[in-house]
Chain A
Amino acid sequence: MPPTALRFDQIDKRYGGLYALRKVSLEITAGECVALAGRNGSGKTTLLRIASRLVRPSAGTLWFPDAAAPSAVRPGYVAHSTMVYDELTAEENLVLFARLQNVDQPTARAEALLHELSLFDRRHSLVRTFSRGMRQRIAIARALLHRPSILLLDEPATGLDPFGFAWLSRTVCELSASGCTIVMSLHGESEISALATRAVRLDAGKIVADTKSGESLHSILTFGGD
Chain B
Amino acid sequence: MSRLSNTTVLLGKELRTEFRSRELLTTSAVFILVVLIMFSFAINPTAEESRAFGPGLLWLAILFAASLMLQPCFLREQTNDTLSSLRLAVSDPFAIFLAKLIANTCFLLLTELLMLPLFAVFYNIPVLPQFPLLLLILFLGSLGVSTAGTALSAISAQARMRELLLPLLLLPILTPILVVSAIVTVKLLDRDPVVEWKGIGFLAVFDVVFLTALWLFGEYLLEE
Minimum distance in angstroms from B69 CB to a CB of chain A: 17
Residues of A within 8 A of B82 (CB): 83-85
For chain B, give the interface size range.
20 to 34
Bound-state Cα–Cα, A92 to B91, Å: 20
Contact (Cβ within 8 A) B81 A79: yes
Of B13-21, B49-57, B166-174, which binds chain A? Answer: B13-21
Residues of A within 8 A of B85 (CB): 83-84, 97, 142
Residues of B within 8 A of A54 (CB): 84, 87-88, 224
Q: Give the residues from 75 to 107 in chain A that come closer than 8 angstroms, CB to CB, to chain B.
A: 75, 77, 79-88, 92, 96-97, 99-102
Bound-state Cα–Cα, A97 to B9, Å: 9
- Whether A74 is near chain B, meaning CB under 8 Å from some CB there, is yes
- Whether A71 is near chain B, meaning CB under 8 Å from some CB there, is yes
Selected A-B contacts with CB under 8 Å, 22 pairs: A53-B88, A54-B84, A54-B88, A55-B224, A71-B91, A80-B81, A81-B81, A81-B84, A82-B81, A83-B81, A83-B82, A84-B80, A85-B80, A87-B20, A97-B85, A97-B89, A99-B5, A99-B9, A100-B10, A100-B86, A100-B89, A142-B85
- Whether B165 is near chain A, meaning CB under 8 Å from some CB there, is no
Residues of A within 8 A of B2 (CB): 102
Bound-state Cα–Cα, A79 to B78, Å: 13
Minimum distance in angstroms from A107 CB to a CB of chain B: 13
Minimum distance in angstroms from A132 CB to a CB of chain B: 12
Residues of A within 8 A of B10 (CB): 100
Minimum distance in angstroms from A185 CB to a CB of chain B: 16
Bound-state Cα–Cα, A99 to B88, Å: 13
Residues of B within 8 A of A71 (CB): 91
Bound-state Cα–Cα, A216 to B152, Å: 50
Bound-state Cα–Cα, A71 to B80, Å: 24
Residue interface mask A39-69, B partner, CB < 8 A = 1: 0000000000100111110000000000000
Residues of A within 8 A of B88 (CB): 52-54, 74-75, 77
Residues of B within 8 A of A101 (CB): 89
Beta-carbon nearest neighbor of B8 in chain A: A99
Give me the interface of A with B, judged by CB distance under 8 Å.
49, 52-56, 71, 74-75, 77, 79-88, 92, 96-97, 99-102, 142
Contact (Cβ within 8 A) A85 B89: no
Bound-state Cα–Cα, A75 to B88, Å: 8
- Whether B156 is near chain A, meaning CB under 8 Å from some CB there, is no
Beta-carbon nearest neighbor of B220 in chain A: A56
Q: Give the residues from 1 to 32 in chain B that come closer than 8 angstroms, CB to CB, to chain A.
A: 2, 5-6, 9-10, 13, 16-17, 20-21
Minimum distance in angstroms from A74 CB to a CB of chain B: 7
Q: Give the residues from 56 to 107 in chain B that come closer than 8 angstroms, CB to CB, to chain A.
A: 79-82, 84-91
Bound-state Cα–Cα, A55 to B87, Å: 11
Neighbour of A100 across the interface among B9, B16, B20, CB < 8 A: B9
Bound-state Cα–Cα, A177 to B148, Å: 49
Contact (Cβ within 8 A) B17 A100: no
Residues of A within 8 A of B190 (CB): none
Residues of A within 8 A of B5 (CB): 99, 102
Bound-state Cα–Cα, A79 to B5, Å: 26
Q: Give the residues from 200 to 224 in chain B that come closer than 8 angstroms, CB to CB, to chain A.
A: 223-224
Bound-state Cα–Cα, A100 to B90, Å: 6
Neighbour of B80 across the interface among A83, A100, A102, CB < 8 A: A83
Contact (Cβ within 8 A) A87 B21: yes
In this complex, the member of B85, B86, B87 whose beta carbon has the largest number of chain A beta carbons within 10 angstroms is B85
Minimum distance in angstroms from A106 CB to a CB of chain B: 9
Bound-state Cα–Cα, A156 to B9, Å: 28
Residues of A within 8 A of B81 (CB): 79-83
Minimum distance in angstroms from B158 CB to a CB of chain A: 13
Contact (Cβ within 8 A) B80 A56: no
